[in-house]
Amino acid sequence: MLGPHVPELRALELLVVVSRTGSLGAAAAELGITQQAASSRVRTMEALVGEPLVTRSKRGSELTPTGELVVQWADRVLDAAQELDAGITALRADRRSHLDIAASLTIAEHMLPGWLVGLRTEQVKRGQQPTEITMTATNTARVVEMVGAGDVTLGFVEGPDAPRGLRHRLVGTDELLVVVGPTHPWAQRSRRRVSATTLAATPLVVREVGSGTRTVLERALADLPMAAPVLELSSTASVRAAVAAGAGPAAVGAHAVRDDLATGRLVQVAVTGLDLTRRLHAVWKGGPTPPEGPARELVAWAARRH
């Protein structure tokens, strides 16, 4: 739960823009509000944090060290918010938009927003008008159907089954990794390998019912007798923290724990007889490459990441 001292997104954005422009007025203009509004808003932020964030002078405003600090933290929040924005924008794009895509849930959840932000950034950098993209998130079968029927120009699906009649290109992989804390018995070098049966019989740290990760895991272990979870948490961050602290093994999306694995905070355990990997493909109808224009650019952008 969020504390009472965290400014809202718009306020954070304002602070970041002030940091970049070096002036309250300029930042206000950029965000389409008046200088007074910006001034007041920064003031209430300072009340929240309890320290001055900007030093005001008669020829501009500079951030205080505290302000710089907050901006750095806010940057990360806004990066994530930008992906959220891209996702929402794609969901609500007017039907006069220029590119219709459909994506499976996993891709829509974890990969697409980043790609959309990337594509948009690239287009803006080239001086182009950003493409309006309409996204439909549904299951893989339905995505293939929609692409086949021409309802959408482009689809993103989970493999490994190559959809018949459609062209495709690999754009990434999605993998659940089984991880444990460094102090867990499974983390011993000699036995970083367990069977699917053992995994299923072990009480795990899991996400709540209904989460994508949980669903994938349960589907993969569906045939085996499963132990009750040791801990059920509501965010990936909590799961990572609990596992690192030794609560038990968990299956987590690979992208979410790359850092933890690199730093040794978490240790990956191979599971024999269990495939938690899925290949992610872009699919389209017609020629050997996606239709020219934004569709092709988006696929190229996505593929570049594998």
By CB under 7 A, name the binding residues for DNA: 8, 10-11, 23-26, 32-41, 43-44, 56-61
Q: Which of 142, 167, 265, 285 binds a copy of itself (CB under 8 A)?
A: 265
Cα→Cα distances 292→1, 152, 223, Å? 46, 14, 45
272 binds, among DNA, a copy of itself, none (CB under 5 to 8 A by kind): none
The rounded distance, in Å, linking the Cα atoms of 149 and 100 is 13
Residues 28-57 that bind a copy of itself (CB under 8 A): 30-31, 48-51
Strand ranges (E), 139-249: 154-158, 167-180, 193-195, 205-207, 231-233
Residues in 53-72 at the binding interface with a copy of itself, rule: CB under 8 A: 63, 65-66, 68-70, 72
Phi and psi for 11 in degrees, rounded to 5?
Answer: -70, -40
Q: Considering the complex, what minimum distance in angstroms separates the CB of residue 196 from a copy of itself?
A: 26
Stretch that binds a copy of itself, among 112-120, 140-148, 187-195, 287-295 (CB under 8 A): 112-120
Closest CB 3 distance from a copy of itself, rounded Å: 5
* Residues 137 to 156 in contact with a copy of itself, rule: CB under 8 A: 137-138
Which partner in DNA, a copy of itself, none is near 41 (CB below 5 to 8 A by kind)?
A: DNA
Among a copy of itself, DNA, none, the one that 219 touches (CB under a kind-dependent 5 to 8 A) is none
Nearest C-alpha neighbor of 43 from the set 30, 56, 60, 59: 56
Rounded Cα distance, 129 and 200, in Å: 50
- Among positions 190-249, residues that touch a copy of itself (CB under 8 A) are 208, 210, 212, 234-238, 241-242, 244-245, 247
What DSSP state is assigned to residue 280?
E
Residue 89 interacting with a copy of itself (CB under 8 A): yes
User: Shortest gap between Cβ of 66 and a copy of itself (angstroms)?
Assistant: 6
> How far, in whole angstroms, is CA 64 from its chain's centroid?
31
DSSP labels for 221-274?
TTTS--PPPSEEESSHHHHHHHHHTTS--EEEEHHHHHHHHHHTSSEEEEEET-
284 touches 181 (CB < 8 A): no
- Residue 43 or 258: which CB sits closer to DNA? 43
